[in-house]
Amino acid sequence: MHAESEIAERLAEVRARIAAAAKRSSREPESIRLVLASKTQPPEAVRAAWHAGARDFGENYVQEAVAKHHALAGLHGIHWHLIGHLQSNKARQACAIFSLIHSLHSTRLAHAIHRAHPASRFHVLIEVNLGGETSKQGIAPADVERLIDEVREYVNVGGLMAIPPPGSNSENSRPYFSRLREMRDSLAARCGLELAELSMGMTDDFEVAIEEGSTMVRIGRAVFGERNR
């Protein structure tokens, strides 16, 4: 069972670390959105974090998010982020639950999202596979501009997301975060889009990510503890 006071304490510690990292990079802490990665965590843990002031929660699986959305329907101001892979056949459910999809990686998926949400362009980030890892989703860096051109009519591309390859310490992630920021800046200039969001950084490397320009950090273990399964 997750003690509400323990989650609140951990959340405060993470916010303090975010603020310190922001100060080191001459940024305002408010410019960085904390998305709590709540995969496998029970609704009670999400509720405890909400009571402690958290409002953004990231889920990896649509079905799990749907269940939590219903269980926590009374919590006002909560925003759900899809930070895991989305299958095209789950796009309709996803658009009904999430406010932002971090993991767009194909034109086919953009079309599915548009069909599910035709009234306006749904907010997405493009997931970039910076390390060329076969175990991860995401589009190759060389193909990002093409994808933006192909999908911008159907979805609102707000920025980029990436997960660096695992490393022995947080500094191993820095070159990848720096590369994603530079890619974003170049693409924004060429495509004429703001691409304001950089979703990068998790429990083990979020401070480095902030120093390199992250606007969204996805943190689970530092607040909720180890996953239940």
Q: Give the pLDDT score at 64.
A: 97
Q: What type of residue is 83?
A: I
215 pLDDT higher than 50? yes
Owning domain of residue 44? 4-224
Rounded to the nearest 10 degrees, the angle between the axes of helix 62-71 and helix 43-51 is 60
1 pLDDT higher than 50? no
The CATH number of whichever domain residue 66 belongs to comes to 3.20.20.10
CA distance 80 to 153: 24
Summarize pLDDT for 92-102 with one digit per residue, the tens. 999 999 999 99
Q: Give the pLDDT score at 228.
A: 57
Q: Give the pLDDT score at 2.
A: 54
Q: Which residue, 213, 206, 162, is CA-closest to 185?
A: 213
In this structure, is residue 229 part of a structural domain?
A: no
In this structure, is residue 146 part of a structural domain?
A: yes
In this structure, is residue 85 part of a structural domain?
A: yes
Spatial contact of 128 and 160, defined as CB atoms under 8 Å apart: yes
In this structure, is residue 129 part of a structural domain?
A: yes
In this structure, is residue 30 part of a structural domain?
A: yes
In this structure, is residue 141 part of a structural domain?
A: yes
| Number of domains within the chain | 1
Six token digits for residue 64: 């799990």
Summarize pLDDT for 160-182 with one digit per residue, the tens. 999 999 999 999 999 999 999 99
Summarize pLDDT for 47-71 with one digit per residue, the tens. 999 999 999 999 999 999 999 999 9
